[in-house]
């Protein structure tokens, strides 16, 4: 047990027993080396857990500001279109995952009228299970990825800003846009130390009925995880390979990091 704190009245006593791995806790947000007080957790850790749990719940239930998001994406130079899934409200979205995977009838009509195509890539920005993540990460990521698009000359359809949406919604959007591939930017299910994590799902030849095994995923895009620049680099590499090999998913391994080893052309590095 640690020594009593230096208090002139000898009333404040620290009963917390520090964990031997305490130094490791300083290099990760993961909940490790918490210490203990008696047979339980220190009060500070109990409070931190309660805060993290509240932040995760907020991430799920905070309303998605699709109009603001569409405006910020348009400011980057992308054409945008706001759409919604068949889940009419958050409760329906959480209880009926199948509804979040299909477009609302009005959005399907809208896309048929406005989507145009064909395109090399369709982009969907979806709230998923963390609107907090989309609000924080989508625009900075797209700013990085736009530079990659400019380097390659890929044609890109209007960015679809989708409410109450799950990953598979991108299959229908990509199909309607006649896109060779679709990438869905989506708020990931919040963890207790990561309520703001963005996921990217790439699918070649999107159409309704694709399975998750036919997608490539880049996960944990956020300040404390994979940087926006690194994620944009990985997505560009995967998209280039997907278009060349005409596949994604378990048959396409992410070997983009091989370009980062010493001696490779500077243009292949993260810029």
- Taking CA atoms, 182 is separated from 53, 122, 235, in Å, by 33, 5, 11
- Taking CA atoms, 88 is separated from 93, 173, 188, in Å, by 7, 18, 20
Is 217 assigned a ligand-binding role in the annotation? Answer: yes
- Taking CA atoms, 36 is separated from 6, 39, 41, in Å, by 20, 7, 5
Contacts (Cβ under 8 Å, ≥6 apart) of 57: none
Torsion 155-157-159-165 (CA) sign? negative
Is 46 assigned a ligand-binding role in the annotation? Answer: no
Is 175 assigned a ligand-binding role in the annotation? Answer: no
- Taking CA atoms, 81 is separated from 27, 125, 145, in Å, by 41, 10, 19
Q: Give 38-97 as a 3 state SS string.
A: CCECCHHHHHHHHHHHHHHHHHHHCCCCHHHHHHHHHHCCCCEEEEEECCCCHHHHHHCH
The percent of the chain in helix, strand and coil, each rounded to the nearest 5, is 40, 20, 40
Annotated binding-site members for adenosylcob(III)alamin = 167, 188, 217
Annotated binding-site members = 167, 188, 217
């Amino acid at each position: 047990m640690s020594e009593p704190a230096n208090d002139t009245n000898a009333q404040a006593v620290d009963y917390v027993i520090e964990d031997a791995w305490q130094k490791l806790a300083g290099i990760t947000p993961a909940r490790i080396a918490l210490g203990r007080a008696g047979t339980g957790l220190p009060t500070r850790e109990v409070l931190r857990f309660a805060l993290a749990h509240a932040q995760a719940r907020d991430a799920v239930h905070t309303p998605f500001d699709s109009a603001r998001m569409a405006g910020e994406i348009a400011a980057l130079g992308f054409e945008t279109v706001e759409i919604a899934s068949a889940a009419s409200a958050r409760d329906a979205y959480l209880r009926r995952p199948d509804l979040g995977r299909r477009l609302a009838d009005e959005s399907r009509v809208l896309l048929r009228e406005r989507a145009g195509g064909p395109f090399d890539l369709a982009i969907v920005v979806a709230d998923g299970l963390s609107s907090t993540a989309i609000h924080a990460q989508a625009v900075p990521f797209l700013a990085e990825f736009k530079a990659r698009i400019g380097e390659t000359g890929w044609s890109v359809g209007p960015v679809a800003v989708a409410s109450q949406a799950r990953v598979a919604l991108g299959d229908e959007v990509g199909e309607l846009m006649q896109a060779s591939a679709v990438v869905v930017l989506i708020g990931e299910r919040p963890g207790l130390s990561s309520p703001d994590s963005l996921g990217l799902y790439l699918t070649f030849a999107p159409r309704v009925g694709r399975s998750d095994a036919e997608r490539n995923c880049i996960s944990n895009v956020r300040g404390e995880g994979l940087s926006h620049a690194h994620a944009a680099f990985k997505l560009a590499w995967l998209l280039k390979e997907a278009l060349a090999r005409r596949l994604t998913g378990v048959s396409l391994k992410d070997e983009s990091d091989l370009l980062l080893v010493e001696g490779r052309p500077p243009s292949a590095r993260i810029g």
